[in-house]
Structure 1
Amino acid sequence: MHKWYLLCLMLFSLSKAYGLSGTQLDNWREDILYLQEQVKTHHLNAFHSQPEPDFDNHVNAILAHLPKLSEVEVESQLMKLMASIKDGHSNYYPMSGPHQHFPFLFLYLDGALKIVGATSEYEALIGQEVIAIDGRTIPDVFEQLQPYLYGVDNRYSAQDRFAFQVTLAKVLFAVGITKSPTKAMFTFNVNGKSQSQTVDVLDMKAFNQIQTVLPKQQERATANDIGMPGIQMRYFDATKTAYFDFDTYPTFDEVIGSCTTLIKQLTKRQTRHLIIDLRDNGGGSFYTGLAFSSCLSHLDTVNWQRGVVVLINGGTFSAAMSNAAQYHQILNATLIGSPTGGDPNHYGELLMFTLPHSERRFSVSERYYAFVETPTDALYPAISVSPSWQDILDDRDVVLNKALEYLNVTPSN
């Protein structure tokens, strides 16, 4: 059976009983054709993972069933269309339009969806596991949502993105996971007992107030400001180790402007080791990251043979993944942690577009970068270590501990 026909059947099966008005139909039709044109015109190589006719057939299937689709279903299909390019920088962004969230922050760990943050109403559930949403088990939810996830390069970023995007109520409703766009029945495993509760959505402002209980967030609170917003430092005097929590990217000028002061401080302390933590760093400008490494290279006290470590995980993406690969090369850094969510050979440098009528946002990639000679799906650590759920509950950062342990080892030769 032809792929296009199968896609039409799938779209029809997802359709709700209500659809778009005449004007909305015309507007969305123009928006979809605009998106199709921009992908073909501006992406460096949009069809590296699928034939162009498959992409066009997907567009035609959406257009053919537009009268039977609700607005959120149109959006979900555009998410899936852009995800089919298989490029984590070419995406449709559902949060560029009206959206609401379920009131939790999650960690998706070893196939389990753990609650690591919640509104005050659900604080008692922090640390517990969600085992079903509207009767669908979490493995089923992940499988159904995965083709729609945006910002995905590989299976590691898919898991990382799922933990956040599963909170998007309109997306879960549009793809048929939930029965309502404003509430769902969540089933929790609370201390070994199943407990179900209807959960209502909240707006983005309230969602942004939720704080995570993950250990790395707590470490940031005690870090030192070094004049580079997004990069904070802690110092381990016993091992003369400077630990940089590289969470987000400062500007190039902020790095250059603060470099001299930082080098003087680290030289005065006779710094021997550097730990650069790129875990959960979603990217920015890797040229700024290169400026940071150039700054650190002025340290004559560092053991450049085995004194530099970079921490990575599934949240290390885009420029952060690029910088991890570069630091491995130019700083002789040892990578510790778990595989990156970013592919080291990837399409990037996204161009942002706004759909003319709906004003939703999407992006396409205009560059290609190859940071490793042998193609692979992720940047893999030399020393693999990942936190267990018990490590997280015990506020124990086993990845950072492994790095400190590594730096304390004196080579036998």
Structure 2
Amino acid sequence: MKKILTLFIIILLSTLSFCQEIKTEDWTTDLNFLKSELQKKHINLFFKLTKNEFEEGIEEIISKLDSDSDFETTMKLSQLLAKIGDSHTTINISKFLNIQKNIPINCTWFGEDIHVVSTSKDNYEILDKKMVSINEYHIKTIIDSIKTIFSNDNNATIKKGTIRLINNKKLLDYFGFSKSSDSIYRIGFENSKNQLSFENVATERYDKKTRISTKIDGLRPYYIEGKGNIFKEKYYEKDKIYYIQYNKCISKESVLATGNKLEATKYPSYKKFEQKILNTIETKKVKKLIFDMRFNTGGNSSIIKNLIRQIRVNKSLNQKDKLFVVVGQRTYSSAILNTLAFKHFTNATVIGEETSGMPNHYGNIKSFYLPYSNIKLNYSTKYHNLYKGIDNTIKPDIEIIRTFDDYKKGIDPIYEFVKNY
């Protein structure tokens, strides 16, 4: 009984400390620490925002500490860092965004349309619908506000960054699209005939137990099935197509190289994966190869260097009509560098949608924590200047936009394009 009581007290104290506002003097220390340290550590902090603008921005946040909540302070800091123009220099605001009850919807972009791909069981009638407004505010208006909390490298960055946040009640409250007392949201939808309809959706605890998702007709396409895998491959005997999906630039070997043996056990071996790829290319009749990085948000760009070399010297595959590299809205950071390597060293045809990462960009992230709020701040230590041009995205050689109809039918337009190319 005594142990149970002790445990209860510990849990209660930890809960109270989590809810407790950070003191003004502690925030002041944190913000001055950030102002000083970020200038020292970032490779080129003031390439877009001037030093005076940055320091005045910090002082402005400090001047409002007595009236602002922790959440409001964190939001203003995110907005200031976004003005720096480096999408790798950010703070982690997830713990301030956490709320037990949000609008129970998850959405995905299909071209320029947003569809509800999962919701709660009680709201089954809105599943699959194209969403256009929340509380009479057009989605584009809401996106214009949310995008101020991160660097807007390009249109794909905005799409990627906002789609996961448009259901967050705290953000909607902060930007004035709802009130803290609201628990019902009026969501607007548009059908194929441009006719509007509205549904009242209540905020609720939204998790796997209460979630329903878009039902895909027939078999789920391979690019979706198990897309949580870091990397995977499949040889299609009938079409003689070899499909490789590379979702994250990380592996057992790359983590081991940092000296973290325990962390490395969480990841698969890329060395074994690459050997399987090379063996398949050698032993199977591969007419076309797809290297898919549409979901790859980065990591260590050096991992696939050898594979690119091996593909480069393979004369039967290293041809525009046989080698295809897939990019999309989530292709970012090291995956951008890998895409550029394919473009530079091979004859690959790049297909898909525009990337969220810029060809030339700041990266090689390091981080530090603010002493009192314990907020993690990421910053860049290197500028990657590998692209001769001023484009702010990698535009595919051939654009292939995924539609909701394709998604619903279980069709991968990328695979279908390559098969019929």
TM range (shorter): 0.7 to 0.9
| Secondary structure of the structure 2 residue equivalent to 1:115 | strand
Would the alpha carbon gap of residues 184 and 319 (structure 1) be closer, same or farther in structure 2, given more than 3 Å must change?
Answer: farther
User: 1: CA distance between counterparts of 2:296 and 2:124?
Assistant: 26
Would the alpha carbon gap of residues 159 and 221 (structure 1) be closer, same or farther in structure 2, given more than 3 Å must change?
Answer: closer
CA RMSD between the two structures: 3.0
Q: Which residue of 1 aligns with 2:257?
A: none
Q: 1:385-404, aligned counterparts within 5 Å?
A: 385-404=400-419
CA contact (8 A) 2:81 2:150 kept: no
TM-score by length of structure 1 reads: 0.82
CA displacement 1:230-277 (0-9 Å, x = unmatched): 111122324422111222234163222333333223311122321111
Deviation at 1:343, TM superposition (A): 0.3
Would the alpha carbon gap of residues 289 and 102 (structure 1) be closer, same or farther in structure 2, given more than 3 Å must change?
Answer: farther
Q: Which residue of 2 aligns with 1:134?
A: 135
CA displacement 1:263-299 (0-9 Å, x = unmatched): 2233111223211111122111111132443454575
CA contact (8 A) 2:131 2:188 kept: yes
Greater helix proportion: 1
| Secondary structure of the structure 1 residue equivalent to 2:380 | strand
Deviation at 1:210, TM superposition (A): 7.2
User: 1: CA distance between counterparts of 2:140 and 2:317?
Assistant: 46
| Secondary structure of the structure 2 residue equivalent to 1:45 | coil
**Aligned residue identity for 1:246:** Y
CA displacement 1:297-329 (0-9 Å, x = unmatched): 575653545421111112111111211111112
User: 2: CA distance between counterparts of 1:79 and 1:119?
Assistant: 30
| Secondary structure of the structure 1 residue equivalent to 2:75 | helix
Q: Which residue of 2 aligns with 1:14?
A: none
Which runs of 5 or more residues in structure 1 are unaligned? 1-19, 407-413
User: 2: CA distance between counterparts of 1:22 and 1:156?
Assistant: 35
Would the alpha carbon gap of residues 180 and 277 (structure 1) be closer, same or farther in structure 2, given more than 3 Å must change?
Answer: same
In the alignment, structure 1 residue 376 sits paired with structure 2 residue 376? no
Would the alpha carbon gap of residues 169 and 207 (structure 1) be closer, same or farther in structure 2, given more than 3 Å must change?
Answer: farther
User: 1: CA distance between counterparts of 2:309 and 2:408?
Assistant: 37
> Alignment partner for residue 365 of structure 1, among 364, 373, 380?
380
In the alignment, structure 1 residue 313 sits paired with structure 2 residue 328? yes
Q: 1:3-22, aligned counterparts within 5 Å?
A: none
**Aligned residue identity for 1:167:** N
Deviation at 1:370, TM superposition (A): 1.5
Q: Which residue of 2 aligns with 1:79?
A: 78
Q: 1:22-61, aligned counterparts within 5 Å?
A: 24-61=23-60
User: 2: CA distance between counterparts of 1:208 and 1:250?
Assistant: 32
Q: Which residue of 2 aligns with 1:7?
A: none
Would the alpha carbon gap of residues 159 and 229 (structure 1) be closer, same or farther in structure 2, given more than 3 Å must change?
Answer: closer
TM-score by length of structure 2 reads: 0.81
> Alignment partner for residue 195 of structure 1, among 195, 198, 211?
198
User: 2: CA distance between counterparts of 1:183 and 1:33?
Assistant: 37
CA displacement 1:128-162 (0-9 Å, x = unmatched): 12222233221110112221136x42222111211
In the alignment, structure 1 residue 185 sits paired with structure 2 residue 185? yes
> Alignment partner for residue 343 of structure 1, among 333, 358, 368?
358
**Aligned residue identity for 2:189:** N
**Aligned residue identity for 1:231:** F
| Secondary structure of the structure 1 residue equivalent to 2:244 | strand
In the alignment, structure 1 residue 264 sits paired with structure 2 residue 279? yes
Q: Which residue of 2 aligns with 1:175?
A: 175
Q: Which residue of 1 aligns with 2:117?
A: 116
User: 1: CA distance between counterparts of 2:230 and 2:225?
Assistant: 14
Deviation at 1:42, TM superposition (A): 1.0
**Aligned residue identity for 1:272:** K
Would the alpha carbon gap of residues 206 and 168 (structure 1) be closer, same or farther in structure 2, given more than 3 Å must change?
Answer: farther
User: 2: CA distance between counterparts of 1:295 and 1:81?
Assistant: 44
